[in-house]
Structure 1
Amino acid sequence: MAITAVSGEWLLLACDTKFIAAHFKEDTQPFVFDCSTAKKREENPTVDGTSVGGATESDKILALTVSRSGKLVALTDDSKRLVLFQYEHSWQHVSTRWLVRRGTSLVFSKGEDEVLVADKSGDVYSFSVIQREKEGNLKMGHLSMVLAVTMSTNGNYLITADRDEKIRVSHLRSPYNIQSFCLGHTEFVSSLLVPSGDLHWLLSGSGDGTVKLWEYKTGQNLQSLDLNNLEDSLVPKLESQRNVTVCNITCSPDGCYVAVQCDSISKIQFFLLNQGSEEKKLVPHSRLHLPQCPLAITFDLEGRLWVLMDSCETLLQIYTLEESSWKCEADNTELKRVTEALKPHWQTLSATSRKTSRFEHLHKTTFDNRTVYMEKKQQRLEEQQQKRKIEQENNGKKKKRDVENCKSFVTHMN
């Protein structure tokens, strides 16, 4: 799994165990942090990468988030670390804390004084940014794994999504006070995005292959678009065994364009977000065909889309909107600069791209118990009928023998 983000003039990349920050305006050395060499938890020793409890810890980065100012970055890894970075003239690692369980998603508060971390058990913990050694406080919990967490633009609401298709909108300062539920997905919710502006809108993507637009304060579904049913479907119907999985939704800085990345699909779907429209608010705009499946995508502050590719020759691509279509900037100085900074880490990226889908085990598995029950019931009925038939035949033979014996006895007496 690879994650990309932009912080000012820095392209941030998390892949496998490495966090890399590369400047695309200046020729400076990239900042690299390797979780495999990071501080280990003393009270939880490991032997050959296996913890005392028996679970394998691989140090792979699971989630990453950037604060609104771009000066703070936080990540979680497979060894249950929460690592905090800060930018002041250069990137610095400022703290490492420990989670109760592996983190799945995280987000900074609007004031950037806390980072909220969701984990695989469904709990959300709050960690102080100012008190960097303080342990986390439990804020809220779901009944299933939380897969995505985000914050409203005003910072008042915490929005979480889980494996059981639920999107929950809670008051940040009192998360037990639930504002609304956004219900309608039929598979796990894998991605959440609050676009810029103050319209109380929320975009969500799911394993059911749909992108939905919500008014999150009321839980009203404003629009639902099925990526499988759009013209020139992402995947031919005959080749698709199940719906496509939305793995990433990102928005341009002006909030006008939305890019949707799907798992193991070499196309990116763009939507136009009409914030002033009363009817069609989310309109399909265009579709970008790529030579390989993208590993990650993100917009920069200039509205350009950066695409991380699974190729050593074209590791990165930049796309700019020109005349209502997205054009690739092949000869771009910034692109070359960042590509050269990332190439020494290609082996890590290549290993990341060969991993199986992280969404595969999240899809529902249905069992047709009724059909099995009816088949067994029919089998029992047939066996009972056969048994009664045999009993009737045996009773008939017995009666026939009794009659013959009776006649034989009467004849003998006479």
Structure 2
Amino acid sequence: MRHPVQKLAFNRTNGRLYLAAGEKLQEFDPTTGVLVQEWSTELIAADETKDEQPKKKKAKTEQAKVVRNAFRTLSCSEDGRYIVGSTDELKSLVVLSTTDLSLQYSRKFPKRPSALAITDSNETLLLGDKFGDVYSLPIVPSAGSKPGHSKLSSAENESGYDIEPIFGHVSMLVDLLVTPEVEGARYAISSDRDEHVRVTRYPEACVIERFCFGHMQYVSQLLVPSWAPTTLLSGGGDDFLARWNWTTGELVEKIELEAYIGAEPSEEDSEFEVAVSGIWEIPELKIVLVFDDNSKKLLSFKIPESQSEPARFLSSKKYDLLDAAVSGTNGEAWLTVYNSSESEGPEIKKIKVDESGVITEIEEALAKKISETASFEIASRADVLALHPVSLLRKHAEH
């Protein structure tokens, strides 16, 4: 059987589609379905474990440690030159050239990276980890950079570049973005497991501009629509999608999701719980797609540019969705869907969203070709490198 595709990224500069499944990354030409090139985190895993010293309390073994290093985040820089991802087991940042998927830079972090944002300068990225720290570092360090002192251990700091957190949360950081320029300034907006949405000046990250208060559960997804730069959409474990004016902290609107999801409580649960695991924009239509991981519903909403107008629900469609990547043209997007059949491989779909928000599958033969070509062979379902569902972020009262 084949490993499900867990992460997608679309490069709007060269028009290529990137698929990450477990520890492998593949690049496809989405116009022909042809596999162009491939890269694996096994390459950095081999380097990391080769020189790793055994802990004093553990017996030495001749057998090398097996590292299963899945991609957790995946993004393309706006200029299309780099594809950037973070991995689980080695807690590493990986930067690859989109020209030949050659490794440009990698480094370990003290805690597992959980969120990643690339600034529009395409030179700097922000990385947040499960400890709540946020780091700022160049996508590719310059040749003249010199090693500096770091609080990381020598093994963790072997790439030699000094990094320090620029700000942090007291809880696991879940999502992170950098805003477009508003009145001559930029800001970093971050969210955590403790319902906080924080607006921080960037790069003067020592200054907290404000918090957006209104969530009662974890906030797993943030989006500033490109056509409404002062609007922030946030969602997670609450039964609503919050629409903010992030420049003032005002909660403009609560977009209730339960009415559109139409889910019923299960026999085990007395109450259905929303779990927003994805928010993507269709900029040419001023539409956003929102996915609820519990009901498996992909919802489309019209988000007006003016905050005085309410958002409108448009349509919904059911998918067991793992990730999505919007192409940025003609309302088209790529989806990776969980396939429960062990006899079949990854399931990739291409969709089109029209002006009324209706979601339609298109070019099914091409999507099927990519699904069949994606070579992520594994022995059994036990070998799937699991990325924990967002619903596990919910905190339940202890009895």
TM-score bracket relative to the smaller structure: 0.7 to 0.9
Q: Give per-residue Cα distances to partners, 1:374-405, cap 9 Å, x unaligned.
A: xxxxxxxxxxxxxxxxxxxxxxxxxxxxxxxx
- Aligned ranges for residues 255-266 of structure 1 at < 5 Å? 256-266=286-296
Is the aligned partner of 1:117 residue 2:140? no
Q: Distance in 1 between matches of 2:328 and 2:365?
A: 16
Q: Secondary structure at the match of 2:28?
A: strand
Task: Give the structure 2 partner of residue 158 of structure 1.
Answer: 188
Is residue 147–residue 161 contact of structure 1 (8 Å, CA) maintained in 2?
Answer: yes
Distance 1:268 1:295, change over 3 A: same
Displacement of 1:317 after TM fit? 1.5
Structure 1 segments unaligned to the other structure (5+ residues): 369-414
Is the aligned partner of 1:83 residue 2:94? yes
Is the aligned partner of 1:35 residue 2:41? yes
Q: Distance in 1 between matches of 2:379 and 2:239?
A: 29
Distance 1:350 1:151, change over 3 A: farther
Displacement of 1:29 after TM fit? 3.2
Q: Distance in 2 between matches of 1:41 and 1:117?
A: 23
Task: Give the structure 1 partner of residue 156 of structure 2.
Answer: none
Displacement of 1:118 after TM fit? 0.2
Task: Give the structure 1 partner of residue 151 of structure 2.
Answer: none
Return the structure number with greater helix share: 1
Displacement of 1:149 after TM fit? 0.5
Displacement of 1:359 after TM fit? 2.8
Tell me which of 324, 331, 356 is aligned to 1:297: 324
- Aligned ranges for residues 265-344 of structure 1 at < 5 Å? 265-276=295-306, 278-280=308-310, 282-290=311-319, 293-302=320-329, 303-311=331-339, 312=344, 315-322=347-354, 324=356, 325-333=358-366, 335-342=367-374, 344=375
Q: In the alignment, residue 362 of structure 1 is paired with which amino acid?
A: L
- Aligned ranges for residues 8-407 of structure 1 at < 5 Å? 8=12, 9-26=15-32, 28-38=34-44, 39-40=47-48, 44-45=52-53, 58-78=68-88, 79-88=90-99, 90-131=100-141, 134-154=161-181, 156-228=186-258, 230-231=259-260, 233-239=261-267, 240=269, 241-254=271-284, 256-276=286-306, 278-280=308-310, 282-290=311-319, 293-302=320-329, 303-311=331-339, 312=344, 315-322=347-354, 324=356, 325-333=358-366, 335-342=367-374, 344-345=375-376, 347=378, 355=386, 357-367=388-398
Q: Distance in 2 between matches of 1:197 and 1:151?
A: 15
Q: In the alignment, residue 315 of structure 1 is paired with which amino acid?
A: E
Distance 1:348 1:174, change over 3 A: farther
Distance 1:84 1:42, change over 3 A: same
Displacement of 1:244 after TM fit? 1.6
Displacement of 1:125 after TM fit? 0.8
Q: Distance in 2 between matches of 1:279 and 1:25?
A: 38
Q: Secondary structure at the match of 2:321?
A: coil
Q: Distance in 2 between matches of 1:138 and 1:80?
A: 16
Q: Secondary structure at the match of 1:118?
A: strand
Q: Distance in 1 between matches of 2:211 and 2:118?
A: 22
Displacement of 1:20 after TM fit? 2.1
Provide TM-score, normalisation by structure 2: 0.80
Displacement of 1:26 after TM fit? 4.4
Is residue 153–residue 197 contact of structure 1 (8 Å, CA) maintained in 2?
Answer: no
Q: Distance in 2 between matches of 1:305 and 1:284?
A: 19
Which stretch of the first structure deviates more once superposed, 97-106 or 69-78?
69-78
Is the aligned partner of 1:5 residue 2:9? yes
Q: Distance in 2 between matches of 1:27 and 1:306?
A: 13
Q: Distance in 1 between matches of 2:87 and 2:170?
A: 22
Is residue 4–residue 13 contact of structure 1 (8 Å, CA) maintained in 2?
Answer: yes
Q: In the alignment, residue 31 of structure 2 is paired with which amino acid?
A: K
Displacement of 1:24 after TM fit? 0.8
Is residue 83–residue 97 contact of structure 2 (8 Å, CA) maintained in 1?
Answer: yes
What is the RMSD computed on CA atoms of the aligned residues? 3.0
Is residue 289–residue 298 contact of structure 2 (8 Å, CA) maintained in 1?
Answer: yes
Q: In the alignment, residue 122 of structure 1 is paired with which amino acid?
A: G
Q: In the alignment, residue 287 of structure 1 is paired with which amino acid?
A: S
Distance 1:29 1:320, change over 3 A: closer
Q: Secondary structure at the match of 1:70?
A: coil
Q: Secondary structure at the match of 2:373?
A: helix
Provide TM-score, normalisation by structure 1: 0.77
Is residue 2–residue 352 contact of structure 1 (8 Å, CA) maintained in 2?
Answer: no
Structure 2 segments unaligned to the other structure (5+ residues): 143-158
Displacement of 1:192 after TM fit? 0.9
Task: Give the structure 2 partner of residue 372 of structure 1.
Answer: none
Q: Secondary structure at the match of 2:283?
A: coil
Q: Distance in 2 between matches of 1:360 and 1:298?
A: 21
Q: In the alignment, residue 24 of structure 2 is paired with which amino acid?
A: K
Q: Give per-residue Cα distances to partners, 1:71-128, cap 9 Å, x unaligned.
A: 222111121111101223x333211112121100111112111111101110001121
Q: Rg bigger for which structure?
A: 1
Distance 1:364 1:27, change over 3 A: closer
Is residue 196–residue 254 contact of structure 1 (8 Å, CA) maintained in 2?
Answer: no
Which stretch of the first structure deviates more once superposed, 217-226 or 165-174?
217-226
Query: Relative contact order, CA 8 A, sep 6+: which one is greater?
Result: 2
Displacement of 1:264 after TM fit? 4.1
Q: Secondary structure at the match of 1:345?
A: coil
Displacement of 1:305 after TM fit? 2.4
Q: Distance in 2 between matches of 1:348 and 1:105?
A: 30
Distance 1:42 1:136, change over 3 A: farther
